[in-house]
Amino acid sequence: MNLTDTILITGGSGLAGTWLRKALEQMGFSRIFLLDVVRTGQGNKEYIGSVNDITFLRKALGDCKPSFIFHLAGLVGHKPLDEMLSVNVEGTRTLFDALCTHSLFATRVLITGSSAVYGDKGEKPITEDMSLSPTSNYSISKVKQEEIALEYFNHQHIPVIISRAFNNIAPGEKEQMFISRIASQIARIEKGTGEKLTIGPLHSHRDYLDTRDVVAAYIRLMEKGVPGEIYNVCSGEPVRISDFFSFLIKSARLQIEYEVVAYDQKGNIPYQCGSPEKLKQLTGWEKQRDIQTTLLEILDYWRARV
């Protein structure tokens, strides 16, 4: 990647898109274009529209002619399968069709996939060659997204690299996310506008990175990733989410009363930890940020906003 290259980030308004843009700007890249359904006011130019709109995508790609596309756009959470497939799968197909329309076959595309595709692998470190066992509508759509991307790699020879990110957090994440849900409640209780904190079961183990470390891995993969290959983006360090909860409670400025409430855990994976060795060996990437520091940053982020 050269500093004069044109870069397109789909889903540029999201958490990863925001931190990715900042990282690229700090590296000296100036031709950064964002594509999303909402305006951010950042980047050289923003294309506002849906990844399902082929006319819109053809116009956007014909305008900027990107050398690199970080494809972050997509739905997350618990939504009907048809909605997930429409955006995560058909939106990806539409993006590649728009590339083909303009004969942009040399454009490198990073598909930002998810560790959710692995399902429950017990307490083994998850490697990229393990079988896929999606347990939710979201993970089903991400499996199919990968399949679509690899079709264009195999048949149109577009250089596609696929990442599978495990859990990641950073200031700016949505309030419904696990850490921000806790931090925002603590901040409100500290301010006197909240009451008892409520949270779901805390027995799961997860592999967490700071989102800024994740986007650093994305950039390394865009530069050095082998087209057609898949790479885990993770720490390799399992953490009990109850430990994160306890750390945040102890970091509060006053005593916090809380209640652990039951909720439907259908499809929940009790333990998931990845192996980042393939990523490290190819790119030299290493995580840089202490995750407890990130937790405190997220708490301060919500203290400033409640």
Q: 238-240 and 205-210: which strand pairing?
A: antiparallel
Residue type (1 letter), 6 = T
| Predicted pLDDT at 266 | 65
- Return the structure tokens found at 120: 């429950």
How far is residue 102 from each of residues 39, 65, 109, 148, 198, measured CA to CA in Å? Answer: 25, 8, 15, 19, 51
Closest-CA residue to 56 (of 87, 22, 86, 94): 94
pLDDT in tens, the chain (306 residues): 999 999 999 999 999 999 999 999 999 999 999 999 988 877 668 999 999 999 999 999 999 999 999 999 999 988 999 999 999 999 999 999 999 999 999 999 999 999 999 999 999 999 999 999 999 999 999 999 999 999 999 999 999 999 999 999 999 999 999 999 999 999 999 999 888 899 988 999 999 999 999 999 999 999 999 999 999 999 999 999 999 999 999 999 999 999 988 776 666 899 999 999 999 999 999 999 999 999 999 999 999 998
pLDDT of the residue at 264: 62
Q: Enter the DSSP assignment of 37.
A: S
Quote the pTM value.
Answer: 0.95
Alpha-carbon span 95 to 154, nearest angstrom: 16
Structure-token match 């305006």, residue found: 39
The pLDDT score that the predictor gives to residue 267 is 65
Sheet holding 230-233, edge to edge: 45-48, 32-36, 7-10, 68-71, 108-114, 160-165, 230-233
Any idea which residue has 């333990």 for tokens? 271
Instruction: Write down the domain spans for the chain.
Output: 7-168+209-233, 172-206+237-271+288-303
Superfamily, domain 7-168+209-233: NAD(P)-binding Rossmann-like Domain (3.40.50.720)
Same fold, 7-168+209-233 and 172-206+237-271+288-303: no
Cα angle: 158, vertex 161, 163; to 5 degrees:
155
Question: Which residue bears the tokens 């060659």?
Answer: 129
Question: What is the CA 25 to chain-centroid distance, rounded?
Answer: 19
Paired residues of 231 in beta bridges: 163
CA distances from 224 to 219, 227, 256 (A): 9, 9, 47
Q: What is the CATH T-level fold of the domain 172-206+237-271+288-303, as seen in this structure?
A: UDP-galactose 4-epimerase; domain 1 (3.90.25)
Cα–Cα distance for residue pair 95/66, rounded to 1 Å: 12
CB 60 within 8 A of CB 71: no
At 195, give phi and psi (nearest 5°).
-115, -130
Contacts of 39 (CB under 8 A, 6+ apart): 13, 46, 48
